[in-house]
Amino acid sequence: MAAISIIDDDAGFRDSLAETLTDFGHAVTAYDRAGPAITAIAATLPDLVFLDLRMPEIDGITALRAIRAAQPTARVVVLTAFATGDNTIDAMRLGAFDHLTKPVGRATLQTLLESALRHAEPQARAEPAAPGTIIGSSPAIRDVQKRIGLAAAGDASVLILGETGVGKELVAQAIHRFSARAAKPFIAVNCAAIPADLLESELFGHERGAFTGATTAQRGRFREADGGTLLLDEIGDMPLATQAKILRALQEREVTPLGGAPVKIDARIIAATHQNLQARVTSGQFRADLYYRLAVIPIEVPKLRDRGADILLLARHILNELRPAHPPTLTEAAERALLAYPWPGNVRELRNALERAASLTPSGVIDAADLALNPPVAPGAASAVATNLPQAVAATEIALIRAALISAQGNRTEAARALGISRQALYDRINRYGTAIMSDLPTPAVGNPDDEA
């Protein structure tokens, strides 16, 4: 049995969470305000604290700082009904054990308890220097947000992996912005875009006269990033000879400009690639010692098609960026099309599709046809294009049901009502299509039961 404290001004959610935790066999103390809770926790450290983010008088982030200052080993789980990339990263940077979005499912809660009560707590973290912008609240992207918070607290090398177009550079920028180096330069180099014979000079610099055409000295990207962060993008395409020099720079913390003497450097190194580096190590195309030096903290950025309702959040964010004064709106059919499409080009393809649609839709209302996407395919479907009527019907049903469940936050009764079918009919289709529908979808949750209405 563990001693657990809940700090939340929402009486309904607080009581529901307390009841569930008690059912699990734990002793629960609940508070409706942060002030008295902070005093009590400072005196008697509970095994776990659930802390609401938005509260009157003292907000959750302020309370988290106070709790961690009084009890650096406190395990604190931050709760919010309004998860954003900023508050997720902020909470993790300040030492939260986890950051959950309300409502919280029983299965999620049980898994969290097992983990929190079994493992030691991470160390306190410094405050972020500036906000980053990582759009989304799906489980897949929230894991990335948490890793950003953890990575930003230190100075170890980071290796960002993911398909082309998922936003690897944005993740690198967020790590820099939330780190102690935020006031210093962030320098990004696309290693695949620079010819091999020029890459060394680009990275390490050169002195005047070092080679034909070197009429002026060049500092090089490592020195330009001094005190800040250097992103080596598409490092998987780097020649082996340059890899050896990158390894030496990381080990010795110095670079040697062409025609010059060694110079000490102080830059946090982040590498990114769409390549399978482990496979390239096996094939001899990438140095194993450099791989292990870079992959101290690996971060896998999820495919857009694995991010569920984040697709709509990203779409609205992109439309606001494209037309700040009068952002275009999406019809329900357009939203369903966005959710059903597999997005092989990820966020980059989403932006291109929306920019095209916004440019060609003077009315400001984007419908499914305006997006000009390929025929819809749901995650788990056997092929990208249905070849007969039953396949087309199944793909359409899966896409519509997934969209309704996402909109209803996993509440099947509400989803069935929105679809205009009975709850039993919805259950029948869920059983028929299985993971093609349920992959990465919300589950009925604490404080938001899947009622019988």
Alpha carbons 132 and 293: distance in angstroms, whole number: 26
Neighbour count for residue 196 (Cβ, 10 Å): 12
Q: Taking the chain (453 residues) in consecutive chunks of 10 residues, what is each chunk's mean pLDDT?
A: 91 92 92 91 88 89 88 86 80 84 86 70 36 77 93 95 93 94 95 86 84 79 95 93 92 88 93 94 95 96 89 90 85 88 91 90 79 60 49 74 75 79 81 67 51 42
Neighbour count for residue 117 (Cβ, 10 Å): 13
Report which DSSP code applies to 55.
-
Could you tell me the two tokens for 356?
Answer: 């095209």
pLDDT of residue 125: 36
Amino acid letter at 52? D
**CB proximity list for 419: less than 8 A, separation 6 or greater:** 400, 401, 404, 426
**Would you give the distance in Å from CA 314 to the centre of its chain?**
12
Residue 213 in 3-state DSSP?
Answer: coil
Alpha carbons 280 and 126: distance in angstroms, whole number: 36
Alpha carbons 381 and 159: distance in angstroms, whole number: 31
pLDDT of residue 385: 46
Tell me if the pTM is above 0.85: no
Domains with residue ranges and CATH for the chain: 3-125 (3.40.50.2300), 148-300 (3.40.50.300), 308-438 (1.10.8.60)
Alpha carbons 144 and 318: distance in angstroms, whole number: 20
**How many CA atoms lie less than 13 Å away from 447 in the CB half-sphere?**
20
pLDDT of residue 178: 92
Could you tell me the two tokens for 178?
Answer: 């939330």
Determine the angle formed by the axes of helices 60-70 and 85-93, rounding to 10 degrees: 10
Alpha carbons 182 and 5: distance in angstroms, whole number: 35
